[in-house]
Amino acid sequence: MLSRTADSLFWIGRYSERAGNVARGLSASWRMAALAAPRGKAEEEWRALLVASGGAPAFFARHGTLTQAAAIRWLTLDPDNPSSIASCIQAARRNARAVRTALTVDMWSAINDTWTELRRIGPDAVAADRLPSFLEWVQARTLLFNGAAADTMLRDEAWLFLRLGTLLERGDNTARLLDARHAAFAPAAEAADPAAWQAALRAVSALRAYQHVFRARLAPERVAELLLLRPELPRSVRACHQRVQGLLEAIAGLTGRRGACHDTALALRQELAAARIGAVLQEGLHATLTRIIDTNLRLGEEITALYLSGR
């Protein structure tokens, strides 16, 4: 297929996923901040979320001080934040319009109707106690788009690039959210911080999943294991990279081309399959996650160079 079309599909996958992930993470932080506020620790929640989104430097350059209202606006509607929910929805729709015929009617409707509705939303939709229903709406729209794609899209190259963008973004998001709270997972941490462990799980909708898997109290090494290494959790870093590597193999089969991205993806998949959480925590969760996040960045560049840039 045209490189430009594949590029747009890849980015539709990424932006659509990102909007849902920001909503999910913000939902968790908002709840945790409400509990942490009496103890004067709300700011940490917001800081963790800003760091995870990669937008902390830009935020502080514009806002100086971290307040709940400023953080919420930055992550939801601010057009100056390229990864705000609003910016992601805009970008997804812009890309979808450019490759309209590569999408099914249900997929186009899902994206376009989300965009249309967003244009009607003003700042009061994310104020105070109205925020949770806005965030639920965003998450629901992402699920709708994913469902439309899963149920109606032909399983061809277009599907593969769309899924590739989605899963690369999903795995990266989990890694970042965990990394933003890594201090709470160090074996030598001064004090147990169950609030941080719970926040990490909530941010990827994995709190109940933890109980289904472990049936025990929260323990930091188990939380880290679930989010990083467990293949049965669909948002775990390992599960996402398993799929990313499989998708790249399928794309190589259809296009007859492979490159650096295949080696990178395979190495990461194998590393995550072989890893044991005890060793990871000894080495340092932050070091491992930083490495994974950097690899994701490189992987995106390698995919772009090989398939999406057109030369």
Partner 1 sequence: MPPPPPLPAFDECGWGGRIRPAYAGIARFLATAGPELLEAKRREAEALFRRIGITFAVYSEGGDPERLIPFDLIPRVLAKGEWERLSAGLVQRVRALNAFLGDVYGPRRILQAGLIPPDLVLKNAAYRPEMVGFTPPGGVWTHVAGIDLVRTGPEDFYVLEDNCRTPSGVSYMLENREAMLRLLPDLCAAHRIAPISHYPEELLETLKAVAPAGAGADPTVVVLTPGPFNSAYYEHSFLADEMGVELVEGADLFVEDETVFMRTTAGPKRVDVIYRRIDDDFLDPEAFRPDSLLGVPGLMRAYKAGRVALANAPGAGVADDKSIYPHVPTMIRFYLGEEPLLANVPTYECDKPEDLAFVLAHLDSLVVKLARGSGGYGMLVGPHATPAQRAEFAARIRACPADYIAQPTLPLSTVPTLVNGGIAPRHVDLRPYILFGREIRVVPGGLTRVALREGSLVVNSSQGGGTKDTWVLEEDPPAENGGC
Contact residues for partner 1, defined by CB under 8 A: 1-4, 6, 97-98, 100-101, 105, 108, 119, 157, 161, 251, 254-257, 307-311
**Residue 114, amino acid:** T
CB of 145 to partner 1, least distance (A): 16
Structure token pair of residue 298: 């490189």
CB of 161 to partner 1, least distance (A): 8
Q: Specify the residue, 39 or 311, whose C-beta has the smaller distance to partner 1.
A: 311
Separation CA 94–CA 166 (nearest Å): 17
Nearest to 138 by CA among 187, 188, 190, 92: 92
Q: Specify the residue, 63 or 97, whose C-beta has the smaller distance to partner 1.
A: 97
CB of 249 to partner 1, least distance (A): 14
CB of 10 to partner 1, least distance (A): 10
- Alpha helix segments (H runs only) across 37-124: 42-53, 56-63, 68-76, 85-98, 105-119
Q: Specify the residue, 145 or 210, whose C-beta has the smaller distance to partner 1.
A: 145
For 266-301, b where at least 16 C-beta lie within 10 A, e where not — what string?
eebbeebeebebeebbeeebeebbeebbebbeebbe
Separation CA 101–CA 107 (nearest Å): 11
Alpha carbon separation from 20 to 16, 68, 92, 103, 123 (Å, rounded): 7, 20, 12, 20, 19
CB of 38 to partner 1, least distance (A): 44
Report phi then psi at 127, rounded to 5. Answer: -85, 140
- Alpha helix segments (H runs only) across 180-236: 194-203, 207-214, 220-229
Q: Specify the residue, 5 or 295, whose C-beta has the smaller distance to partner 1.
A: 5
The H-or-E segment that residue 242 falls in is helix 237-255
**Cα dihedral: 290, 291, 296, 300 (round 10):** 110
Q: Specify the residue, 100 or 217, whose C-beta has the smaller distance to partner 1.
A: 100
CB of 147 to partner 1, least distance (A): 20
Q: Specify the residue, 3 or 290, whose C-beta has the smaller distance to partner 1.
A: 3
Separation CA 303–CA 83 (nearest Å): 21
Q: Specify the residue, 30 or 307, whose C-beta has the smaller distance to partner 1.
A: 307
Q: Specify the residue, 8 or 84, whose C-beta has the smaller distance to partner 1.
A: 8
CB of 282 to partner 1, least distance (A): 42
Q: How far apart are the first and last CA of the chain?
A: 13
* Dihedral (CA of 29, 210, 197, 265) sign: negative
CB of 297 to partner 1, least distance (A): 21
CB of 112 to partner 1, least distance (A): 8
Q: Specify the residue, 187 or 310, whose C-beta has the smaller distance to partner 1.
A: 310
